[in-house]
Amino acid sequence: MGKLDPAWLAAQLQALEQRHARRHRLTIDSLARVGNPTRLWVGGQLLRNFCSNDYLGLSTHPALAQAANACMQQFGFGAGAAHLVTGHWRAHHALEEQLAAFTGRERALLFSTGYMANLGTVTALADRHDTLIADRLCHASLLDGARLSGAKLRRFAHADVTAAARLLESARADVGVGAGAASTARLLLTDGVFSMDGDIAPLAELAAISAQHDAMLIVDDAHGIGVLGATGRGTLELAHLSAHEVPLLVGTLGKALGSFGAFVAGDALLIDYLMQRARPYIFSTAMPPAVAAATSAALKLVQSEGWRRAHLQLLIARFRSAASAAGLPLSPSSTPIQPLIIGAEAVALALSEALKRLGFWVAAIRPPTVPPGTARLRITLSAAHTEEDVMALVEALATVWRESAPLRAASQEAAAPVDQVS
C-alpha cells in the first residue's frame, strides 16, 4: 500500500482516532458580547474560553479594529508583495521601529508568523558547520529551523543549565577539527516561557554560560512579550538581561498583542543580515499593512494599560490558590499558562469534553505537541477574565476531576505495563 493510497491515508487517520490522537477543530460562530474574547458561541452553546493565547484580552479591543480600518480605508488590504520587492509599507516600518524601541534594540524585523521568524532566523545563522544547543521543550518552529539548517542539533534536558553548559563545552572542543574555527558557531536556543508548561527558562544562567562559551543566546519570548515584566517587555525584563546578553529576541504578535505576525529584534548588523538571508522573509508576502497598524495600536495599549498585567497576575494567584485547595495537580508555573498534566490522551480528552458540557472550553493538548504520556489540559488565563470566571472554572475542574477518578485509575493501570516494556 503506497503512501498516497487513499486506503493508507484512511488507515493512518483511523490509527490516530484509536489512540485518541486525532485532532478536530472547534468552529467559533461568534463572540457572545462584542469586545469580550472570553465568551464564545459554538454550535449554539455558550463557552467560556480558557485556552487562547490572548493573555491581555487585546484581540477584541476596538483600538485594534479601528487602526486596521483606518489603514484599510487609505491603503486597501493586501501588502501586494514580499517586503524586499514592493510589500514594505509605512505601517510595517513604523511597527518595526516601535518594536525596536520597546525591546531596547537597534532594529526589529517583521515576519508573517512566529513559525517563520524562528525558521528564518535559525537557518540564516547556522549551517552544517555549526552547533545548535536547544532546550528539549523548545517550540517546534525552533527545532524545525534547526533541522532545516543542517547544523548539529544537541538538546539538553528541560531547563538543565549544567547539561547545556556541558554541550557548549563539547561543541567548543569541535572547533578547528572540521572546517576551521572561523566557520564554527554555537547558538543556544530557548523559549522564554515554555508554551505547554508555562514555566520560565533560567535565562540569567543561560546568558552566563553563553557568554562564557562564546555562544549566541536566542530567546523566543512568544508567551512573555506583553505579559511579563513590570512594563510587559517579557522574560528578559524579568531577568534584567540586556541586548548584549541576549543578542536576538524573537517575539510573536498573535498572542498577548492580540494581533498576528512576529518579529526578531537585535543589533542593526544582525538584523540586516537576517533581512538578506532569512528565506521565509525573502520568499513570502508581507502581512497586510492593516495588521501592522493594528499591532502598533496593541503595542501602545501594552504600554499604557498596565492594569491588564496586574489583573492577570491577580487571576493567576486566585486560580492557583483555589485549584490547590480543590486538590488539583498544579504545575509549577507563575505565568497565565496553567496546565493540568493528565497523562493518557483518552483521559485528557474526556476531561476536556466534560468541561465543555459544563460550558468551559479547555482543549486537551496531546502528543506530538507535548511528550508522550503527558497529555494535558492547557488552561490559560486572560486579563479579559473576571475573578468569577476563574472561580467558576476551578469549580468545574474540581467536578470533572472527581467524576473522572475511575477513568484515571483505569488508565494508570493500563499504562503501567506498557511503560515497563518501552
Contact residues for ligand PLP, defined by CB under 6 A: 113-115, 118, 139, 141, 191, 195, 220, 222-223, 252, 254, 262
Q: Say which DSSP state 86 is in.
A: I
Catalytic residue (choose from 52, 59, 141, 195):
195
Q: Which is nearer to ligand PLP, 186 or 223 (CB)?
A: 223
Shortest distance (Å) from residue 194 CB to ligand PLP: 8
Catalytic residue (choose from 88, 92, 255, 385):
255
Shortest distance (Å) from residue 260 CB to ligand PLP: 7
Closest C-alpha among 48, 92, 50, 60 to residue 258 = 60
**Residue least distant from ligand PLP (Cβ):** 114
Q: Which is nearer to ligand PLP, 100 or 287 (CB)?
A: 287
Cell, residue 104:
531596547
3-class DSSP state for residue 188? strand
Which amino acid belongs to residue 325? A
Catalytic residue (choose from 61, 223, 311, 385):
223
Between the CA atoms of 340, 25, 49 and 62, what dihedral angle is there, to the nearest 10 degrees? Answer: 140
Q: Are 337 and 197 in contact (CB under 8 A)?
A: yes
Shortest distance (Å) from residue 144 CB to ligand PLP: 10
Is there a catalytic annotation at residue 195? yes
Shortest distance (Å) from residue 55 CB to ligand PLP: 12
Q: What region, left, alpha or beta, does residue 160 occupy, with left being phi > 0 and alpha being psi -120 to 50 degrees?
A: beta
Closest C-alpha among 177, 174, 180 to residue 131 = 174
Q: Are 338 and 330 in contact (CB under 8 A)?
A: yes
Shortest distance (Å) from residue 139 CB to ligand PLP: 4
Q: Which is nearer to ligand PLP, 222 or 400 (CB)?
A: 222
Residue 47's contacts (CB-CB under 8 Å, 6 or more residues apart) are 39, 40, 41, 356, 359, 360, 361
One-character DSSP codes across 278-312: -HHHHTSBPPPHHHHHHHHHHHHHHHH-THHHHHH
Shortest distance (Å) from residue 378 CB to ligand PLP: 11
CA distance 28 to 117: 28
Pairing of strands 152-156, 262-266: unpaired
Q: Are 292 and 91 in contact (CB under 8 A)?
A: yes
Is there a catalytic annotation at residue 223? yes
Is there a catalytic annotation at residue 152? no
Task: Give the residue numbers marked as catalytic.
Answer: 195, 223, 255
